[in-house]
A and B are shown apart, each in its own frame.
Chain A
Amino acid sequence: MQLAVNIVVLTAIYALIACGYVLIYRVSRVLNLAHGELLMLSAYLLLWTASLFAGHPVAAIAAALGLSVAVGAMVYLFLLRNLTGEMALAAVLTTVALGVLLRGLTVIVWSAQQHYPAVPLGLANWAFALPGGARISLWAALLVATTLAVYASLFAFLRLGRWGMRMRAAGQNPLLAAQRGINLHAIYALAWSLSTLTGALAGMLIALDSGLGQTMAIIGLKAFPAALVGGLDSLAGALLGSFIVASAEVVLIHYVDPLLSEVIPFLVLIVVLMLRPWGLLGTREELDRV
C-alpha cells in the first residue's frame, strides 16, 4: 500500500514538473532546459516573500506565484522572442545559459546553504494515515492534489478556452495562426508564464516539504525523461510518462537496487526513443534540421 502511495507521490512530482516542459514545447517548439532552475528560483522567491509576509502563508505563496509568472513572461519577452526563427539548438542553448545564470544568481542572493521556507511561514509538516496503513505527508498530499488540479485546468483551458485554442493553433502551425490574427508573441509569453507557474507550484511544494538548496535544479532535469517518454507535445503523455518512470523507479528501489533509480528514467527513455521516437502519446512529426 505504501508502495502505491510512493508511486503516486513521485508521479505527481514528475508530472507537475514535466507539464512545464510540455507546455512550452507544444506551443513554441522550444525545449526549456532551464525549467529546473526556474522552479528553483520560484522556491527562492517564496523564501523571500516568506520573510516579507512572515506568518501569512497564503499572501507569501500568492506573491511568489505572481512573481514567478512575471519571470516566465520576461524570459520569453527578453530572451526567447529574439530567437524566433533561429535554429532550434540556439534556443535550447539559450535556456541552458539562462540556467547557468540563475544558478549563479541564486547563490549570490541566497547563498548555497539549505533553506526551509516552511519555518518563517510558520507552517508545520505533519503526516496522516491513509486507509490501508499507508501514510502521506501533508505537503505530499497537497502536491498530488495540485497536480490533479493543474492538469484538469490545463486540459479544460486548452480544450475549451479561446486562448487555449489559440495556443493549440500556434503549436500546430505558427504561420497560419499568425495569419489568422493570433498574436504569436502573446501566446508564447503566455505559454512561458503558465510553464513557470506550474514549475513554481512544484518548486514551492517540494521546498515546503523537504527544504530548498542547489540540488533542486537537478530534480527538474530528472522529470525531463518523463516528459519525453510520454511525448514532448502531449499533456496526457506527460502524465503517463511520469507514471511509467515513477513506478519503474519506486519498484526498482524497493525490489532490486536503489542505485538503479538514477539510470532507469534514461533507460526507459532510450527504449521509447528507439520504438516511438515521438513519445508514447506524442504526435508524429517531421522535426527540423539544426
Chain B
Amino acid sequence: MPDLFTHLATARLPAAFVRDPRIAALVVIGTFLPDLTSKGFYWVLKCTPNFEVPTHSLVGVTLISYAASLFLEERLRRAAFPALLAGGVLHVLVDLLKDNMGVGSCRLFYPFSPRSYELGLIDPVDVIYLVPIDLILLWVAGAIERSRRVRG
C-alpha cells in the first residue's frame, strides 16, 4: 500500500472542490477505508492477504462505503455515500501505481473477474519517497480552497 499520507494528499485535491466541509472530509475518510479494513483483517483478525482482496475491489469498496455511511446521521447519508465511495475508488486507483512484479496490485473487478491490474510505476517498499510529491499536492489543494473562499 502507498502510505495513507499519500492517499490523504491525492484525496485532498478533489475534496478541495467540494463546498460542504463535511462531505470534503468524508472524501478523505473514504480514501482511508480500504487500507483500514485490510490492515484490520491482517493485524487484528490475522487473515491471509487473499482474504483482503475485496477491500481493494470496486464492489468491496462500494460495500465498505455504504456500511460506513450508515454510521452517519440519516439526512447526511445520501450525500456521504458517494463521497466515501469516491475516496475509496481514488484509493484503489492510486494503488494501481504500484509495481507488484507483474502479478497486479488490485483485483478491481472482483468478484466478476479475478484479474489483477497494476501500472508498475513504484516499488511498494519505496512509497515513502512519494512524501515530497504529497506535500506539493497538499499545498495545491490548500491554495484551491483558499481561492474558493476568497471568491465566496
Q: Do A and B bind each other?
A: no
